[in-house]
Structure 1
Amino acid sequence: MNSMVMQKDIISNWEPRHASLFGVELVKLNHRLIETGLFTREALGRVIERCPAEHLGIRARGTEIDDPKTMEGELGTATGLEAIQAIEKGRMWMNIRRVMDWAPEYRKLLDEVFGEFEARVPGFSTFKRNLGILISSPNANVFYHADIQGQSLWQIEGSKSVYIYPRSEIFIKPESIEKILLRETGEDMPYEKWFDDYATVVELKPGEMVTWPLYAPHRVHNHDCLNISVTMEHWTKQIWNSYAVHYGNGVLRRTLGMKNGSTADRGLHVYPKAGAALLWKKLGRQIDGDVVKKRDFRIDAGSELGRVSIR
C-alpha cells in the first residue's frame, strides 16, 4: 500500500518553543503517521514478508526489568500477519530495521518527517537518517540503555511507558558511552531500581511521539496490549562531534591510559580525537556488533506463546 498524500503537517501540535527544545530536552508531540496507511497491521504484514533476513530481528526475553536472558528467533514459514498475531500473545518483540533502504515509500516518509523538522528548527541539518519498526508483545520491556544517535519514538498501536533518566554521570558514566561506541558491549547498561525515582515517565499513546537528549538513558515498558512503534534516528554535525570525542576518549584511555578527557562537542580537541577514532577503526580494533547467533525459537501463531523452540 502506498502512503496517502499528506495534506497536513506530520507533527500536528508544533509550537515555536519546540524549535529551541528539540534535540536538547525531552519533547513529546502529536503526529499523523497513522493517516499515511503505512502502519496498519495489513501493511506491516507485507513489510515483514518483504524484509531482507538480515534486517529482521526477532527476540524474546522475560518480563522482569533485570532479567538478563535473551533468545533469538526466526520467522520460519509464518506470514507477516501470523507473526504479528504470534507476537500479540507471546513475550516477544520484532525489530524491522532500515526499512527505508528496501521500501521506497518509507524512505519518502522519512524524508518528509525530517524535512518538516529542518524547516522548523534553525540550523538543524541531518544525515544518516534511519527508520525502523518495532512490534512487541503485551508487557514486554526494553531494558535500560542509551543510543549513540538522535532518537525519537513514534507510537502507532497500543500504549507504553517510557522512562527517561537524567544524562549525568550518576546514570550514565563516560566509560559506559565509550564501551557502547567501541562496541565492547551492547546498548544495555547497569541499572538500579532506585534510578526510577529520578526518571521522567512519558505515557505514550497512538498518535504521540517523544524525543530526548543525546545519550539520555531510557527504558520502555509496554502496557497490557500489542505495541507497534516507529523509531527514527539521525545524525547531525554536533552529534558526530560528540561521537568522535567519546570514541577518541575511549581509544586514548585504552592505549595511553588517559582519563578525564573533555567530552565537549566543540573546540580544537575534537579533531585529534576524531583522528584517533578513525585510526582505531582502520586498525581493526573495534569489535563487530550485531553478529547473528544461533536461533532459539521459531514464530508459530498456533502455539500458546506464539513460538516453538528450535531443537
Structure 2
Amino acid sequence: MMMTLHSSITPGSDLLPSFGTAALTDFATAYPDASVKLTHQLAGHPLLTRAALGELAARMPASSVEYNLGRLPLGVDPDETPHNGLTLAETIATIADNGSWAVLKNVERDPAYGALLDEALAPLEPIVRAATGPMLHREAFAFITSPGSVTPFHMDPEHNILLQIEGEKTMTVFPASDSQLVPPEKSESFASGGHRNLIWNDAFAARGTAVHLQPGDAIHVPVKAPHFVQNGDQASVSFSITWRSSRSVAEGELHSLNGRLRRRHLPLVAVGARPERQMFARGLFRVARRIGL
C-alpha cells in the first residue's frame, strides 16, 4: 500500500516539521520491527536547551527524575547504581564536568513539552496507524549526560525514537527477537514490572549495530530491542519520543500471561509476530489477572 507522506505544519507557518520527507520514508520502511537512523529538525529548539531543561527539572516531582554517576559498566545491577552526591539542579548545571547521567521522565505532562511531543509525533502518526494502529500512551523523556557516560544494556517497552539535540553519542542496538539476549523469563518479568536492565555478556557485542548520533540525527528503536549508549566527549542532550500500540500492549499481555503460567508449571502460550491478533490468549490473560492466577 502506498502512503503519502506530508508535513503536519500549518501552511504559512515558519516552523519546520520535526521530520522531513526522507526521514519519514526511511521510518515507514523500518517500522515497527527494524532499527533505522533518521534525521530530525528539532536540534536547537528552545525547549531542549540545557537551561530550559534545568528549569523544567526544578518544577518536576522527584518521582519523575532519575540521575546517577554516568561512567558505568554495560551490565549493572540497578540496585547498585552509584549516586553522584549532587542535587538534580547541580547535576544539570555542571553536567559537562560531573560525570553523571540524568533523565527527566514524562515531560509531556508539562503543557509546553506536551505540545512539543505532539509536534514531533504528528508526521509519524499516519505511518504508525497504518502499521500498528493508533499511537497509545504517548510519552517523552529528556536525557542530559556527561562526556563519557554510559547507559547500560537494557530494553524499553515502548516504540521509541531518540533525537540527538546537543553533543554526540553512539547507540548500539541489538535484535529484539534474540532470545539469548532477552530470555523468555526476562520478557515475562519485564512485562510484569521488572527492571529494564539486562545481563551483559561480552560475546553479545558482535550482534549489535553501533549508530553514531550527532545533533539532527535520530534513531528508531523497536519495542524491547536491547541497546546501550556511550556518550561522546561533550555533554549531551537527547529527546526521546515514545508511544505504545495494540501490538506492544498485546505482546506485554502474553508475556505476563506466560509468567503466570510458568510459575504454576503450566503450558506456555507462543507469542507470535502479530500478538494483537491472538485474541483467545489475550482473553485468557484477562481472566487470569481477574482471578489472581
Q: TM-score, normalised by structure 2?
A: 0.84
1:176 to 181, 186, 189: 186
Q: Tell me what 2:266 maps to.
A: 258
Q: Tell me what 1:154 maps to.
A: 163
What is the distance in 1 between the residues matched to 2:34 and 2:56?
33
Instruction: State which drifts further: 153-162 or 31-40.
Output: 31-40
TM-superposed CA distance for 1:158, in Å, is: 1.0
Indicate if the aligned counterparts of 1:61 and 1:70 stay in contact, CA closer than 8 A.
no
What is the distance in 2 between the residues matched to 1:213 and 1:138?
26
What is the distance in 2 between the residues matched to 1:17 and 1:210?
11
Indicate if the aligned counterparts of 2:155 and 2:226 stay in contact, CA closer than 8 A.
yes
Indicate if the aligned counterparts of 2:191 and 2:256 stay in contact, CA closer than 8 A.
yes
Residue identity in the other structure for 2:137: K
Instruction: State which drifts further: 151-160 or 271-280.
Output: 271-280
Q: Tell me what 1:11 maps to.
A: 19
SS at match of 1:88: coil
Q: Tell me what 1:268 maps to.
A: 279
1:217 and 2:222 aligned: no
Identity, in percent, stands at 25
Q: Tell me what 2:10 maps to.
A: none
SS at match of 2:67: strand
Indicate if the aligned counterparts of 1:241 and 1:270 stay in contact, CA closer than 8 A.
no
TM-superposed CA distance for 1:163, in Å, is: 0.8
| 1:161-195 superposed Cα distances (whole Å, 9 cap, x missing partner) | 11111221121111111111223x41111111121
Change in CA separation of 1:139 and 1:244 when aligned onto 2, cut-off 3 Å: same
Structure holding more helix per residue:
2
What is the distance in 1 between the residues matched to 2:244 and 2:288?
17
| 1:22-52 superposed Cα distances (whole Å, 9 cap, x missing partner) | 2221121111112431112221221122222
- Gaps spanning 5+ residues in structure 2: where? 1-12
SS at match of 2:124: helix
| 1:66-116 superposed Cα distances (whole Å, 9 cap, x missing partner) | 45431246764x7x4x53232221221111111111x20110111122221
What is the distance in 2 between the residues matched to 1:153 and 1:273?
35
Q: Tell me what 2:4 maps to.
A: none
What is the distance in 2 between the residues matched to 1:122 and 1:181?
23
1:186 and 2:222 aligned: no
Residue identity in the other structure for 2:154: H
SS at match of 1:269: helix
Indicate if the aligned counterparts of 1:131 and 1:232 stay in contact, CA closer than 8 A.
yes
Note the aligned Cα RMSD (angstroms): 2.3
1:55 and 2:71 aligned: no
SS at match of 2:180: coil
2:91 to 77, 83, 88: 83
TM-superposed CA distance for 1:227, in Å, is: 1.2
TM-superposed CA distance for 1:277, in Å, is: 6.0
What is the distance in 2 between the residues matched to 1:276 and 1:74?
46
TM-superposed CA distance for 1:242, in Å, is: 0.8
1:164 and 2:173 aligned: yes
1:241 and 2:250 aligned: yes
What is the distance in 1 between the residues matched to 2:128 and 2:104?
29
Residue identity in the other structure for 1:279: R
Residue identity in the other structure for 1:141: V
Change in CA separation of 1:38 and 1:61 when aligned onto 2, cut-off 3 Å: closer
What is the distance in 2 between the residues matched to 1:204 and 1:17?
16
Q: Tell me what 1:295 maps to.
A: none
Indicate if the aligned counterparts of 1:97 and 1:131 stay in contact, CA closer than 8 A.
yes
Q: Tell me what 1:40 maps to.
A: 49
What is the distance in 1 between the residues matched to 2:288 and 2:240?
27
Indicate if the aligned counterparts of 1:126 and 1:234 stay in contact, CA closer than 8 A.
yes
Q: How many residues align?
A: 272
1:207 and 2:201 aligned: no
Q: Tell me what 1:117 maps to.
A: 124
What is the distance in 2 between the residues matched to 1:139 and 1:246?
35
What is the distance in 1 between the residues matched to 2:85 and 2:284?
40
- Gaps spanning 5+ residues in structure 1: where? 286-311
Indicate if the aligned counterparts of 1:244 and 1:277 stay in contact, CA closer than 8 A.
no
What is the distance in 2 between the residues matched to 1:74 and 1:57?
13
